[in-house]
């Protein structure tokens, strides 16, 4: 059985350089690299290739594996630089983060220390969600996947031992993991993205290459073609994939197979200078430390600036700072502790235990509100408890109605009453609150799901990582069932406009009209915060003049307004409803904010949506307007 050569291969560092720079440039918002996240998959292939090759050599030469030596070696390779990054991030989090975000940081710190941050973030929210922009340790999910791979892979090799058995098991693992990843990338995309069992096929590609592929002939045309094709596949993924690409199922094979071709042919091809040049080798050798420091830098810079998007100058500053800090971490931490010193492993393991205890203690403390609030320098006008309560309060009217009617009958029709259907995404509850408040005599049904506006082909326009796409598809089938829609006396539509556009909604309105739906009340858009509004308030105070520049104006809806008027439907402007004397009310006289995230209305504001138009709405619904 052939294994990877133990000699240093500079071309592998060149491939690492491509992977790490893709991830970094993606995270500093270089638009061209919309698929830069696939650089992580390249790393997984490299890990599978190198780890399997090394373990197979040891099995062949020693007849067994020294698991203790392997795990200590991995700990030396990964944990010192990781722990330094975690400690430095904790210091910055204590200084810069709000109470609410520091508490969330504490939980992620504990999970990253225990190498389970991929599970933690899976249970939290998706990688592409805007809230992820403010999680300094989000990038450690990939380390969790790698470390879990390192934990089980040597045991698999010990169990199979013989090459034929290993290859058989590896191929079966590859097929099973790929099939599950492809299915879950649509049914449960967060699980497919974050959890190690659904990434194992990427490591297996490298493992099979290390144990099965014959050497590529030096300076052969075959090597040249393989290298250039591999780089083209990796480049295609980096430049053509985006947040809408279903991942990591079949699509992940593009960068992974590309990486495997590069590994196979890199040192044999006459184009190897693309990888083994001094710049690429340097970036590859420092890639681990650079990867570790880049995302906390991005997040804390974003927090300090108070906005999501970077200018070109800021992108350059972030890139330069990442490379400098990555070099320092590699030089003074990673290299110094990677090799076994004269005093052996005992002191290293003792230091590792103490460092782990310290980080777990800091993570636990950061989750305690009493400790977090002891930071006198951190503004606390809007407390974590208030944020939590205000976000939950949006759903109180719905809960009260369902408690009275019975949860199993919450959306049943009620004979003798005017029955209404509220359709929308996570914003539908705002319209529900408005109608329950102003028209309590009506029986109101709610058709809502986060990120699921009405569209006949929602799977073609929705972001690929949608966590509930099967439910969304089923819900939209119902929303396009004429018999179902005609059961209601009127329909209310309230959605968030982003990837879902006014044109999409206009199509749905025309569908409703064609199916004979006579009465539709349509809510418009309103201002949205550039960051969670409580974060902005804690930063600048309850100062409308300072807060307004941090808000984004609603998109133009003139085409949608015209479509509604043409069809005889009633349009209600949220911005007009929530403004006083032409000025948008960021907060009211009781200091209640209009939102406690970026754009979902607080309960008090959602109840105001019909205050100015309730007579117009009443006349419209009664047919007197």
Span 469-512, pLDDT tens digits: 888 999 999 999 999 999 999 999 999 998 899 999 999 999 99
pLDDT category of residue 128 using cuts at 50, 70 and 90? very low
Contact criterion met (CB below 8 Å) for 264 and 5:
no
Cis check for the bond before 193: say yes or no (omega within 30 of 0). no
The whole-number average pLDDT for the span 94-114 is 94
Mention every residue, 6+ apart, whose C-beta is less than 8 A from residue 606.
394, 429, 430, 431, 433, 434
Residue 410 has pLDDT above 80, yes or no: yes
pLDDT category of residue 413 using cuts at 50, 70 and 90? very high
Residue 3 has pLDDT above 60, yes or no: no
pLDDT of residue 340: 59
pLDDT category of residue 346 using cuts at 50, 70 and 90? confident
Contact criterion met (CB below 8 Å) for 278 and 239:
no
Residue 323 has pLDDT above 90, yes or no: yes
pLDDT of residue 469: 82
Mention every residue, 6+ apart, whose C-beta is less than 8 A from residue 403.
none
Neighbours of 62 (CB within 10 A): 9
Residue 162: both structure tokens together: 């013989």
Please tell me the least confidently modeled range out of 77-91, 380-394, 430-444: 380-394
CB < 8 Å & 24+ apart, contacts of 158-166? 158/59, 158/64, 158/65, 158/67, 161/59, 163/1, 163/211, 166/211
Q: What is the DSSP code (8-state) at residue 530? A: S
Residue 461 has pLDDT above 90, yes or no: no
What is the full DSSP assignment across 272-336? THHHHSHHHHHHHHTHHHHHHHHHHHHHHHHHHHTSS---HHHHHHHHHHHHHHHHHHIIIIIHH
Residue 127 has pLDDT above 60, yes or no: no
Q: What is the DSSP code (8-state) at residue 64? A: S
Mean pLDDT of the chain: 92
Q: What percentage of the chain reaches a pLDDT higher than 70?
A: 96
Q: What is the DSSP code (8-state) at residue 1? A: -
Helices (H), 426-581: 428-438, 458-461, 469-479, 482-485, 502-514, 533-540, 544-547, 558-567, 574-577
Span 141-180, pLDDT tens digits: 999 999 999 999 999 998 887 667 888 999 999 999 999 9
Q: Rounded distance, CA 235 to CA 36, Å?
A: 9
Q: Rounded distance, CA 295 to CA 625, Å?
A: 56
The whole-number average pLDDT for the span 271-300 is 97
pLDDT category of residue 4 using cuts at 50, 70 and 90? very low
pLDDT category of residue 463 using cuts at 50, 70 and 90? confident
pLDDT of residue 263: 96
Residue ranges, CATH 3.40.50, the chain: 384-622
pLDDT of residue 625: 58
- Look up the pTM and report it: 0.87
Domain 384-622 matching CATH 3.40.50: the answer reads: yes
The phi, psi pair for 245, rounded to 5°, reads -75, 125
pLDDT of residue 142: 97
Q: Rounded distance, CA 324 to CA 526, Å?
A: 42
Q: What percentage of the chain reaches a pLDDT higher than 90?
A: 77
Span 514-561, pLDDT tens digits: 999 999 999 999 999 988 999 999 988 999 999 999 999 998 888 889
Between 189 and 136, name the one with better pLDDT. Answer: 136
Contact criterion met (CB below 8 Å) for 38 and 140:
no
């Amino acid at each position: 059985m052939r294994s990877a050569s133990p000699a240093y291969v500079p071309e592998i560092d060149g491939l690492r350089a491509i992977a790490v720079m893709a991830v970094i440039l993606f995270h500093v918002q270089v638009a061209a690299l919309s698929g830069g996240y696939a650089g992580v998959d390249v790393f997984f292939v490299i890990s599978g290739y190198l780890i399997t090759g090394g373990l197979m050599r040891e099995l062949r030469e020693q007849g067994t594996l020294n698991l203790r030596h392997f795990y200590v070696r991995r700990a030396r390779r990964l944990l010192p630089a990781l722990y330094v990054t975690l400690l430095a991030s904790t210091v910055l989090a204590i200084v810069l983060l709000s109470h609410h975000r520091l508490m969330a940081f504490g939980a992620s710190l504990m999970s990253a220390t225990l190498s389970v941050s991929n599970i933690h973030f899976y249970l939290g929210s998706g990688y592409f969600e805007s809230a992820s922009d403010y999680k300094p340790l989000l990038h450690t999910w990939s380390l969790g996947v790698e470390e879990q791979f390192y934990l089980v892979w040597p045991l698999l090799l010990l169990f199979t031992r013989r090459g034929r058995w290993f290859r058989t098991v590896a191929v079966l693992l590859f097929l099973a993991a790929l099939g599950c990843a492809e299915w879950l990338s649509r049914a449960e995309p967060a699980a497919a993205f974050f959890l190690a069992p659904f990434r194992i096929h990427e490591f297996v590609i490298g493992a099979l290459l290390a144990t099965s592929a014959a050497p590529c002939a030096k300076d052969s045309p075959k090597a040249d073609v393989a290298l250039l094709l591999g780089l083209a596949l990796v480049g295609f993924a980096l430049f053509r994939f985006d947040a809408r690409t279903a991942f990591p199922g079949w699509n992940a094979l593009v960068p992974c197979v590309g990486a495997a071709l590069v590994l196979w042919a890199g040192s044999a091809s006459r184009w190897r200078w693309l990888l083994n040049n001094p710049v690429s080798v340097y970036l590859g050798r420092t890639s681990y430390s650079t990867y570790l420091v880049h995302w906390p830098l991005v997040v804390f810079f974003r927090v300090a600036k108070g906005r999501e998007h970077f200018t070109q100058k800021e992108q350059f500053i972030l890139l330069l700072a990442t490379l400098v800090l990555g070099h320092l971490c590699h030089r003074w931490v990673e290299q110094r502790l990677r090799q076994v010193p004269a005093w052996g492993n005992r002191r290293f393991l003792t230091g590792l235990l103490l460092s782990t205890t310290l980080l777990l203690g800091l993570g636990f403390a950061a989750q305690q509100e009493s400790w977090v609030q002891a930071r006198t320098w951190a503004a606390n006008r809007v407390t974590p408890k208030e944020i939590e309560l205000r976000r939950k309060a949006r759903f109180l009217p719905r809960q009260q109605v369902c408690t009275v009617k019975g949860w199993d009958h919450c959306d049943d029709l009620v004979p003798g009453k005017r029955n209404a259907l509220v359709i929308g995404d996570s914003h539908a509850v705002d319209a529900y609150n408005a109608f329950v408040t102003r028209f309590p005599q009506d029986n109101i049904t709610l058709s809502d799901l986060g990120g699921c506006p009405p569209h006949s082909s929602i799977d073609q326009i929705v972001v690929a990582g949608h966590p509930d796409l099967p439910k969304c598809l089923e819900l939209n089938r119902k929303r396009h069932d004429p018999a179902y829609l005609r059961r209601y006396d009127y329909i209310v539509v309230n959605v968030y406009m982003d990837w879902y556009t006014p044109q999409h909604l206009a199509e749905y309105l025309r569908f409703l009209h064609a199916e004979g739906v006579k009465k539709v009340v349509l809510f418009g858009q309103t201002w949205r915060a550039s960051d969670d509004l409580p974060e902005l308030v804690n930063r600048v105070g309850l100062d409308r003049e300072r807060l307004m520049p941090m808000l984004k104006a609603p998109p133009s809806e003139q085409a949608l307004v015209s479509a509604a008027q043409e069809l005889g439907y009633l349009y209600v402007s949220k911005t007009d409803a929530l403004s006083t004397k032409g000025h948008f009310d960021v907060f009211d006289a009781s200091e209640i904010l209009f939102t406690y995230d970026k754009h979902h209305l607080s309960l008090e504001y959602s109840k105001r949506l019909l205050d100015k138009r309730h007579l117009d709405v009443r006349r419209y619904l009664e047919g007197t307007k």
